[in-house]
Structure 1
Amino acid sequence: MTLKHSTQHCSKQHSADFNADRANDDGGWWQMFANLVNKYGLVPKSAYPESANSRNSGCVQAVFEYEAT
Structure 2
Amino acid sequence: MNLGEQLKSLREQHNMSREKLAQKMIVSRQTVFKWEKNKAYPTLDNLVKMSELYQITLDELVKGERTFPKS
Q: TM-score, normalised by structure 2?
A: 0.23
RCO (CA 8 Å, sep 6+): is it higher in 1 or 2? 1
Larger radius of gyration: 1
The structure whose residues are more often helix, as a share, is 1
Q: TM-score, normalised by structure 1?
A: 0.24
